[in-house]
Amino acid sequence: MHYFSFALFALVCGWLMLAAKTRRQVVAITVAGVLISTLVIAPPPAEAQGGIIQAIQAVLNVINGAIQTGLNAINTTRAAINNLYQNLIWPVQLINQARAQVVQMINQYRTLMASILNIDLHSATLATPQSLENAIRDHQVNNFSALTQAFGNTYGAIPSSTDASQADRDMSDLDDALTLDSLKTLKVSDSATDLELQAADSIETTAGKAAPGSAPFLTASAVASSIRSQALTQKMLAAELRHEAAHIAHQNGFRKRGAAFSTQLRGVIMNLLQHN
Amino acid sequence: MRQARELLMKGTSWIRGHKLRVILLSLVLTIAAPWPAEGQFSPCCAILAAGLSSISSALQSVIGGGLNQILGIDQSIQQFEQNFVWPQNLINQARSLVGNLQSIFNQIQTLTKIQVNSATLPNAQQLETNLLSRNANQIAQTSANYTALYGSVPAATDASQQVRDMVDMTDAAAQAAMKRAIEIDARQLHAVHTCLRSVRIHLVPGWAPRTGSLAQPSNGTTRAHLLCESNDLSKLGLAVRDPPGPDYRVADEQHQCGVGRKWCSQRVRRIQPDGPLGCSQRVVLHRHCADPVRGQPYGAWGCRQYSFCFGSCCKPGCQNRIQSEHVLTSLLVRSSPIHT
């Protein structure tokens, strides 16, 4: 910009010098040129740098004062957090101790518990009950027909319609059915319990190598497993409840039939008395 | 070339003839010519340079040093967390365990769905189907099926009032037990599956896993919590949620079976530490649980202990009701021979 202004000024000034006729005009052009170049074209003088020392000192004061204090405070706090983590919240020594304890418990109890759970409970001595007992205790769910067959062989079939009243046949059938239902549920429960134990072993084994960050997974798994286990217990409880309900219903049926028989007997006696 | 030489000769002669003008023009142009900027070697710039140097050294020593110390501590924390608190391999191992357990649980669920019906005669089949229906809506049919099989209370002309009362009471107890059994089956199917599918895991140590979402029918005073509501999903942060498996469908179907039943959600109490750090105890499901099962987290970090409600999210007395029903039927079973 300055060079452009200077070139323009030089052209104008040179042209005026060439065009000047008298010496007075030359002097006037010279004076005007000097004035213009001094007042208009010349750049303004730079300002003095008097306040820079104070400004630099102020910046240094901020750095050495507020910022240093803040950084020291952050440093102290982070160090305290680090100590808290390592010494109180997740002390490595205690973590390792807990892992070792889990492993020790596994070594101490797993085999023992497995041997207890695998104790042979078979007690029947004759062939037919043995067959039924084997079917009951085999933890399998794909042989319900064999169970039904063994049950029928052991306890007999429902009397035919010529051998018993319909009410007796119905009640016997339901009793047998609920018994079989409970036995089947028992087999299901045994099978599910095997799976639960398998899951428990997995959780236990993983717990022996767990870290605080992985513990929530294990805890959630344990919670889920526990709820499953409780559900199975309730299922068995429901089966037992059904069974006992059928038992007292059956006995109550005897009362009802006793009342009916009494009425029939009364009618028969009345008939006899009338005939006599 | 010749013209240029002539022009030069003319200019030279003009300059010789107008020396004053040339001198004055040169003077003016010299004054007006733009001068180069000043160099950086003035005293003012030296002060500025010294000041900036001081600031630079202060930045390096004070701020840089402080930040380096903080960085060192943060790196130490990071290494500690990566190596001891959240080691990637152990977290992956735990995740794979969860996947394996999910597979096992699916097998168990399949097992629990196996049909066990065994009756052969029509009346017995009808009652058995009702008893094994796992559908609480079928409870209304239980009495009719029961009467069809076991008969009704004797008429007043057939038995004394005492016998009729006894028969009626015993029938009532037996039917109640059967209905309760249906209810238990229905509840465990509902609640367990629903609760399990929403077991969530919070990766921040110290957060207990939560089973989300309990709910209860608003018009049923005797039913326990059955379904669950998602709770505070937005606050879970890095939570991991079990993918909805086959349980979803079963639970939803069961949920839809509850025709005429209005469900309302119940917010699960948020887990809060209620003890000092390292010895905190948290309630996962419901504080009003009748029989809380206490769970010790594996590893026992800082002796934390979590408590969670008995399965199926029982309301108070839910388990007790089952037990009392059981005791009642047992008593009747034992007392029946005396009265008969």
Confidence (pLDDT) at B77? 94
With a cut of 50, list the residues of chain A below it in pLDDT: none
- Cα of A187 vs its chain's centroid, Å: 30
B202 close contact with A: CB closer than 8 A: yes
More confident residue, B303 or A119: A119
Strands lying side by side in the sheet with B210-211: B210-211, B199-201, B240-241
Strand partners of residue B211 = B199
More confident residue, A3 or B181: B181
Q: Which of B11-25, B238-252, B322-336 has the highest mean pLDDT?
A: B11-25
B32 close contact with A: CB closer than 8 A: yes
Per residue in B19-66, pLDDT (tens digit) is 777 888 888 778 777 766 555 556 777 888 888 888 998 899 889 999
Nearest to A260 among B21, B33, B158 (CB): B158
> What's the whole-number mean pLDDT along residues B91-102?
91
Confidence (pLDDT) at B300? 34
A33/B311 touch (CB, cutoff 8 Å), yes or no: no
For residue B90, which residues of chain A lie inside 8 Å, CB to CB?
209-211, 213-214
B159 close contact with A: CB closer than 8 A: yes
Confidence (pLDDT) at B47? 82
Residue of A nearest to B175 (CA): A245
Nearest to B209 among A92, A177, A220 (CB): A220
Per residue in B239-281, pLDDT (tens digit) is 333 333 333 333 343 444 333 333 333 333 333 333 333 333 3
B111/A258 touch (CB, cutoff 8 Å), yes or no: no
Residue of B nearest to A238 (CA): B181
> What's the whole-number mean pLDDT along residues B168-190?
88
Closest CA to B189 of B293, B111, B284: B111
3-state SS, one letter per residue, for chain B: CHHHHHHHHHHHHHHHHCHHHHHHHHHHHHHHCCCCCCCCCCHHHHHHHHHHHHHHHHHHHHHHHHHHHHHHHHHHHHHHHHHHHCCHHHHHHHHHHHHHHHHHHHHHHHHHCCCCCCCCCHHHHHHHHHHCCCCHHHHHHHHHHHHHHHCCCCCCCCCCHHHHHHHHHHHHHHHHHHHHHHHHHHHHHHHHHHHHHCEEECCCCCCCCEECCEEEECCCCCCCCCCCCCCCHHHHCCCEECCCCHHHHHHHHHHHHCCCCCEEEECCCCCCCCCCCCCCEEECCCCCCCCCEEECCCCCHHHCEEEECCHHHCCCCHHHHHHHHHHHHHHHHHHHHHHC
Nearest to A174 among B149, B208, B311 (CB): B149
Give dist(CA B302, CA A3) in Å, integer: 80
CA distance B259 to chain A (A): 23
Where are the strands (E) in chain A, listed by range? none
Nearest to B201 among A26, A176, A216 (CB): A216
In chain A, count H helices and then E strands: 9, 0
Q: Cβ(B264)–Cβ(B247) under 8 Å?
A: no
Confidence (pLDDT) at B286? 33
Confidence (pLDDT) at B15? 81
Confidence (pLDDT) at B271? 33
pLDDT at B100 exceeding the cut of 50: yes
Q: Cβ(A265)–Cβ(B158) under 8 Å?
A: no
Q: Extract the tokens encoding B167.
A: 């028969």
Closest CA to A184 of A241, A142, A124: A142
B127/A262 touch (CB, cutoff 8 Å), yes or no: no
Confidence (pLDDT) at A19? 81
Under 8 Å CB-to-CB from B184, ≥6 apart: which residues? Answer: A234, A235, A237, A238, A241, B322
Confidence (pLDDT) at B263? 34
Banded pLDDT at B168 (limits 50, 70, 90): very high
Confidence (pLDDT) at A44? 57
Per residue in A107-132, pLDDT (tens digit) is 999 999 999 999 999 999 999 999 99
Q: ipTM of this complex > 0.85?
A: no
How far from each other are the two terminal CA atoms of chain A, in whole angstroms?
151
Q: Extract the tokens encoding A7.
A: 């070139």
Confidence (pLDDT) at A9? 81
B202/A216 touch (CB, cutoff 8 Å), yes or no: yes
Banded pLDDT at B193 (limits 50, 70, 90): low
Sequence-distant contacts of B157-162: CB under 8 A, at least 24 apart: B157/A263, B158/A259, B158/A260, B158/A262, B158/A263, B159/A259, B159/A262
B174/A245 touch (CB, cutoff 8 Å), yes or no: yes
Give dist(CA B149, CA A146) in Å, integer: 27
Closest CA to B323 of B134, B184, B215: B184
pLDDT at B169 exceeding the cut of 70: yes
Q: Cβ(B101)–Cβ(A199) under 8 Å?
A: yes
Q: Cβ(B14)–Cβ(A13) under 8 Å?
A: no
**Bridge-based pairing state of the strands B199-201 and B305-308:** unpaired
